[in-house]
Amino acid sequence: MGTNVDLDGVPETMLWTLYNRASEAKRADGILRDPDCVRIFDALDYDYQHAFGAPDGTHAVRSRAFDTALRPWLATHPGGTVVELASGLETQFQRCDDGKVQWLCVDVPEGIELRARFLPSSDRCRYLAMSALDLAWLDEVDPANGVFITAQGLFMYFEEADVRRLCTAIFDRFPGVELMFDTIPPWFSRRTMKGFRKTPNYTAPPMPWGVERSRITKLLHGWSPRVAEVSLSSFGPSRGPLAVSMPLFESLPLLRDIPPTIVRAKSL
């Protein structure tokens, strides 16, 4: 018998991302090596395919992109602090730990409770059970050796005003901070607001905030004068026709606004 899991709404999406990452990590030709993800996936008593259908690896692509950005930062900021907003069952700490990083996982109480069953906290990987919108978590961050903040699969579930308030608080509090997050396009946001049925057995939570990739840089600079650099990249499934066509989406301005986007912003 596996571990029972009882989640709904936005917290249940951590099982969707776990499914896509683990399915990719289990493949001999998978793009992500993630033994802890596979361990958790196998231990949970949950019918992933019934809920989410066939896996597509999109979240493995996203996790790999976040790892690729974080590892060089860790090398140049020994003992720096990484804050993982909406950490869920993501295992980036386990994949990227350099033995020095100070890590802070922030998630709603039911997310932290499930995470702690499989990934106990430690002196260098602490847990805070609260919403990312509760800015009290900023007081728990040690900025002495640099701060890198990630938010995978989070901001689209907030209203734009809340995203702006959170981002400006981060930029104001931590000079030189790097903030990395992903966005969805408006067409997909509208679809979820009407009730996006991923399968006949699962309807995705509403995602109110969608933004075109072509607007993101100007938007962030408009939110805060402290934003110094913004870099953007599109992402999609790990394999299949859409994966093969992603370079085309990257190269043609008319297509760049269609896929989801990974954003990396650095403040002054």
Domain membership of residue 10 (yes or no) is no
Domain membership of residue 95 (yes or no) is yes
pLDDT by residue, tens only, the chain of 268 residues: 578 888 989 989 999 999 999 999 999 999 999 999 999 999 999 999 999 999 999 999 999 999 999 999 999 999 999 999 999 999 999 999 999 999 999 999 999 999 999 999 999 999 999 999 999 999 999 999 999 999 999 999 999 999 999 999 999 999 999 999 999 999 999 999 999 999 999 999 999 999 999 999 999 999 999 999 999 999 988 888 887 888 888 888 878 999 999 999 999 9
| pTM, to two decimals | 0.96
DSSP state of 220: H
The CATH number of the domain where 183 resides is what?
3.40.50.150
What domain range includes position 215? 58-267
Domain membership of residue 138 (yes or no) is yes
Give the model's pLDDT for residue 252: 83
For every residue of 187-200, DSSP letters joined together read: HHHHHHHTT-EEET
Give the model's pLDDT for residue 249: 82
Give the model's pLDDT for residue 1: 56
Amino acid at residue number 193: M
Give the model's pLDDT for residue 141: 98
Domain membership of residue 199 (yes or no) is yes
Domain membership of residue 254 (yes or no) is yes
Domain membership of residue 13 (yes or no) is no
C-alpha–C-alpha distance, residues 63 and 57, integer Å: 10
Give the model's pLDDT for residue 138: 98
C-alpha–C-alpha distance, residues 157 and 226, integer Å: 25
Domain membership of residue 129 (yes or no) is yes
Per the listing, tokens 């860790």 go with 74
Domain membership of residue 35 (yes or no) is no
Angle CA 243–247–248, to nearest 5: 105
C-alpha–C-alpha distance, residues 232 and 180, integer Å: 10
Domain total in the chain: 1
Give the model's pLDDT for residue 123: 97
